[in-house]
Amino acid sequence: MPKVDETRLEIDLKALTHNYQLLAQKLPEQTQIMGVVKAFAYGTDSITIGKKLVDLGATHLAVAYIEEGMRFRRRGIEVPILVFYPQLEDLPKLLEYNLIPSVYNFHFLRKLKTALVEEDINNFPIHIKINTGMNRLGFDLKDVDELQNELTSGNYFKLEGVFSHLSSAGMPSEDDFTQAQINKFTGVVEAFRKNVNPNFIAHLCNSSGILSHPEAAFDMVRAGIALYGYGNNPEEQKELQIVASLKTRIAQLREIPKGASVGYDRKFKAEKTSKIATLPLGYADGISRTYGNQKAEVLIRGKKAPIVGNVCMDTMMVDVTEIECQEGDEVLVFGKAHTALDFDKEKQSIPYELITRISQRVTRVVLED
C-alpha cells in the first residue's frame, strides 16, 4: 500500500529518453544497448522503465534475479533478459520464462546442464561472465580452456554472450588498470570466437565504461546508473538528466526556543530560536538514519534546509529558520534542481544506494514524455 500522495517519487520518461539517446550517440552505430533494470529499475518503476527502454531501442534488459525477470515476462516484455545472479532453486522458472542466465562458475554450469538434460532442452542460450579484475563473480582466466571444453561437449548450450565488468572505469587514476581489463577481455573474446562460437555478443562496458571508455564498446554495452541521470564527474552530470525526483510536503511547522531539542535522543539542540519543519518521510521510506544530524539537506522554496536530529521511521525534521515557508509547501528531497549528490552533502553514500532504497510504499508518479 503506497503512502499518501504528498510523498511521491516522480519518474521523468523525457529525461530517460534524453539519457538513452545521449549514451547511444557516444557508441558505434552497430553497438547494442542492454538496459539494466534490476532493483525495480534502480528504485524507480521496473515495468514502466523497461517498456520505455525497449521502445527506445534497447535490444536486451538485465535484472539481478530470476523473479525480477519473470515480472517482465508476465507484463509482455519479450526481449532477451539477462539474469545476473540466477539461483539454482529457481532454475525451473528460468527455463519456463525463457530467461538468459549469467553463468559465472562451474557449479552452476553443471547444475544447469543437468536441468537441460532432464527437460530435453538443447542449445539453451547463456552468457558467460569472465573475471578480469573485479574479483566479484566470473570465471578466472585460468578456467577458460576447461570452460571451452564444457561448452563444446554436447549441444546443451548456445553461447550467446561473453561479458566482464569494469571495476574503476570512471576513475582516470585507474586508467591503466581499466586498460588491462579491456586487454584481458579482448583475449578471452578472441579465444571463444575461435573455439566455441564466432557469433556471440561480447559486452564489457557499464555506465562508467560507456562515458569514459566508449572505445571498449564491443558488441553491446550495459547501461545502468547513467540512464537514471548520474555520471562520474561534474561534466558528465551536466549532460545527463535526473529521472527520479523524491518530493514531499511540510506536515507541520513549529518554533522552538534556544536550548530546545528535536527528535529521538535529543541529537539536535537549538542554539537560537529556530523554526523546524516535520516531513512525512523517514527511514522506512529509504532515508537512512545516517543522513540525520545535518549530514543531508532538502530543498524548500529554492533554499537548502538541513535535516536535524535523528531521522525517524516515518518522519524527519529539517531546520527552516531562514526560509519563508508554510505547512503544505512542497519539499524536494532529491531530483533535478537538487540531486542525490546535493542531498548527501557529506557524501555518506552514492546515488545508487540512495535511489534504490526508496521504499515501495512511496507512491510512484510517471511523467510521460
CA torsion, ordered 206, 208, 210, 213, to nearest 10 deg: -120
Contact 268, 312 (CB under 8 A): no
Please count the helices (runs of H) and the strands (runs of E) in the chain.
12, 19
Catalytic one of 38, 52, 247, 295: 38
Taking the C-alpha atoms of residue 299 and residue 283, their distance in angstroms, rounded to an integer, is: 18
Grid cell, residue 106, equals 562451474
DSSP secondary structure string for all residues of 153-186: SSSSEEEEEEE---SSTT-GGGHHHHHHHHHHHH
- Is 136 a known ligand-binding residue? yes
Q: In whole angstroms, how far apart are CA 282 and each of 161, 169, 209, 332, 340?
A: 42, 34, 34, 14, 16
Known catalytic membership, residue 283: no
- Is 313 a known ligand-binding residue? yes
Closest by Cα among 211, 204, 203 to 230? 211
Catalytic one of 194, 258, 264, 303: 264
Grid cell 542466465 — which residue? 101
Query: Collapsing DSSP states into helix, strand and coil, what is residue 209?
Result: helix
Known catalytic membership, residue 85: no
Where do runs of H (alpha helix) occur along 26-155?
Answer: 38-43, 46-56, 66-74, 91-96, 106-119, 144-152
Contact 244, 5 (CB under 8 A): no
DSSP secondary structure string for all residues of 244-280: EEEEEE--EEEEE-TT-EESGGG-EE-SSSEEEEEES
Catalytic residues: 38, 264
Annotated binding site for substrate: 136, 313
